[in-house]
Amino acid sequence: MEKALQSKLNVHEKKFIEMENSQNDLKSKLDELKRNAVFKCYIGFEYDKDTGICYKIIEERLTWDAAREKCHGWNAELISIHSQQENDLVQSIAKSLSFDIWIGLNDQAQEGSFVWADKTTVGYTNWRKGLPDGGRRDNCVSVSLFLILIGKSK
């Protein structure tokens, strides 16, 4: 009886190892697809292979609300930042521009309670020292020359 149980245990252990190897293979294939992606971004959007983000730079000065509306016209949303890697991408874009760029972070619904416009969870933040400062008129977040700043939406 002990031999039969050991045999069954060996079979299950072998199946578990096979499933684990299969999972690792799928992860490797996904990573390869991300690295070599022929990603289907909308026409006019750029693809960042390091983050997997499609983005388009709005090269005009707009309010946060107007920038968000422009994004909606492209079936898109202001960018949300969930990691240092994504922050690095946004900051590299901001560095190349001569004006602030809006991101989707805002506290328009409730002062001090920041949310992403795309409804994803706020986890990663990289506030400039002293911000947010609780300003009741400053409800939307922009990125400017490596600094996260609070800006007015209207």
- Looking up residue 122, the CATH number of its domain turns out to be 3.10.100.10
Q: Is position 51 within any domain?
A: no
Q: What are phi and psi of 146, to 5 degrees?
A: 70, 10
Query: Model-level pTM greater than 0.85?
Result: no
Residue-averaged pLDDT of the chain: 83
| Region 72-101 average pLDDT | 89
CA distances from 54 to 6, 74, 79, 109 (A): 52, 12, 10, 27
**H or E stretch including 104?**
strand 101-106
What distance in Å separates the CA atoms of residue 106 and residue 141, rounded to the nearest whole number? 6
User: And the tokens for 84?
Assistant: 């240092």
Domain count within the chain? 1
Q: Is position 147 within any domain?
A: yes
**Between 21 and 37, residue with greater pLDDT:** 21
User: And the tokens for 103?
Assistant: 């991101």
Q: Is position 119 within any domain?
A: yes
- Would you place residue 37 in the very low, low, confident or very high pLDDT band (cuts 50, 70, 90)? low
Q: What are phi and psi of 15, to 5 degrees?
A: -65, -40
Domain range for residue 101?
59-151
Whether residue 150 is predicted with pLDDT greater than 60 in this model: the reply is no
